[in-house]
Structure 1
């Protein structure tokens, strides 16, 4: 296999990953709290030797997939009318307790279990400012959630929703479509702003992602055609050599 084919294959490998990310973004355009995933890739040069095995040959550019990161731009906040729906305006993440440990999320669609525990859609308890499960007394009814996260019922304040963040958002590891695993210590946000009866929509721009998917597919097809053309050229050369009469 020659250098042209290797270069095209390196590009196809990156494009395959980019297509997977774009398809996943589009699939989660309506997932509350979902953040768009982006691909970080670059070209790297390989310095070739000349025909005598010495340095000074040409440089060849290959494409490599360096990392995947999330676009943390806030999604649109929309009214739902459900008192247990919460949206974060600004920085911060809700903390929920999963079977794998504490995870962070911007998805604020919560529910009250029969025992009064406030949980997300997967049954993970929402945590307060002290890292404890938030439990609403079964006989109480939620009246309001203040912007600072204070939950009040007809009997007064019962708990305060905790909002945390990390120093470097790029250290958060995505788990599923709405949970994030912190790999560095978390700390409370300096200023909380929680909106009751609202949810944060996905920040996916469907039109932009659909356009990107078409561009990726076109680039993929061009590189695949290049590989096929190069393969045909090499095979024709081999056939010509093997069919020519020896001197």
Structure 2
């Protein structure tokens, strides 16, 4: 198989991954707190020996280098639900899961029967000391100030913990909206929490759909190239094997 085919196949391999990434982004375009995944491509050069004056030539192959999350803030929308919270600015909510503490920008919480504030999966929301936030069952009104102070009609009960990490690229996605911190977390100095609001996904559906169409077109062109080269190669073999020997 000639190098032209290998180069096209390397491109097809990266485009397959790109299509999966774009599809996942579109599938979560309406998931609160979801952060779009982006891809990093690179080229690696392979030096080919030949008769060129320089002694050879370089051929560029495509490589899927890495993926990363785009942590830009999504749009905030009003829900008027008293246990919906949105962070305006940097930072993440902390929730306790069966696998340990995880971070999230999805502030859609609710009160469990025992008064614990939990997310949609039942993971408790944590305060600044890393403790579960529990509202007394007899308390009816829950209010949250911009600095994260949570109060009821009986007074302050907790301070919502908003944390971050020094390098956001070290956060590992788990599911649609949870992030696993792999380095030490620390409290955000200044927070702004908006009660009765949620942060939408930062996926731009129109741009992502356009990107998916471009990926598909590029994939088809490279696949056609591989098929054309394969046909040409097989025809050459057939011609050589069927020619009468002199």
User: If the length of structure 2 is used for normalisation, what is the TM-score?
Assistant: 0.97
The reply on whether 1:6 has 2:15 as its aligned counterpart is no
- In 1, the alpha carbon distance for the partners of 2:234 and 2:222 equals 18
Following TM superposition, by how much is the alpha carbon of 1:139 offset from its aligned partner in structure 2, in angstroms?
1.1
Following TM superposition, by how much is the alpha carbon of 1:57 offset from its aligned partner in structure 2, in angstroms?
1.6
Following TM superposition, by how much is the alpha carbon of 1:140 offset from its aligned partner in structure 2, in angstroms?
1.0
Alpha-carbon contact 1:142-1:151 (below 8 Å) kept: no
Aligned to 1:133: 132
Q: Which aligned pairs between 1:235-246 and structure 2 lie closer than 5 A?
A: 235-246=234-245
Following TM superposition, by how much is the alpha carbon of 1:21 offset from its aligned partner in structure 2, in angstroms?
0.5
Aligned to 1:232: 231
Aligned to 1:20: 20
Following TM superposition, by how much is the alpha carbon of 1:133 offset from its aligned partner in structure 2, in angstroms?
0.6
- In 2, the alpha carbon distance for the partners of 1:94 and 1:37 equals 20
Aligned to 1:50: 50
Following TM superposition, by how much is the alpha carbon of 1:49 offset from its aligned partner in structure 2, in angstroms?
2.3
Aligned to 2:179: 180
Runs of 4+ aligned structure 1 residues displaced above 2 Å come to none
Structure 2 spans left out of the alignment, 5+ residues: none
Aligned to 2:123: 124
Following TM superposition, by how much is the alpha carbon of 1:143 offset from its aligned partner in structure 2, in angstroms?
3.1
- In 2, the alpha carbon distance for the partners of 1:180 and 1:57 equals 47
Task: Give the number of aligned pairs.
Answer: 244
User: If the length of structure 1 is used for normalisation, what is the TM-score?
Assistant: 0.97
Q: Which aligned pairs between 1:1-247 and structure 2 lie closer than 5 A?
A: 1-50=1-50, 56-247=55-246
SS in 1 for 2:126: coil
- In 1, the alpha carbon distance for the partners of 2:222 and 2:55 equals 28
Alpha-carbon contact 1:151-1:160 (below 8 Å) kept: yes
SS in 2 for 1:142: coil
Structure 1 spans left out of the alignment, 5+ residues: none
- In 1, the alpha carbon distance for the partners of 2:185 and 2:161 equals 11
Alpha-carbon contact 1:33-1:108 (below 8 Å) kept: yes
The superposition leaves residues 2-58 of structure 1 with CA deviations (integer Å, 9 ceiling, x where unpaired) of 21111111000100010001011111110000011000111110112237xxx9321
When the two chains are superposed, the root-mean-square deviation of aligned CA atoms in Å is: 1.0
SS in 1 for 2:207: helix
- In 1, the alpha carbon distance for the partners of 2:156 and 2:174 equals 33
SS in 2 for 1:58: strand
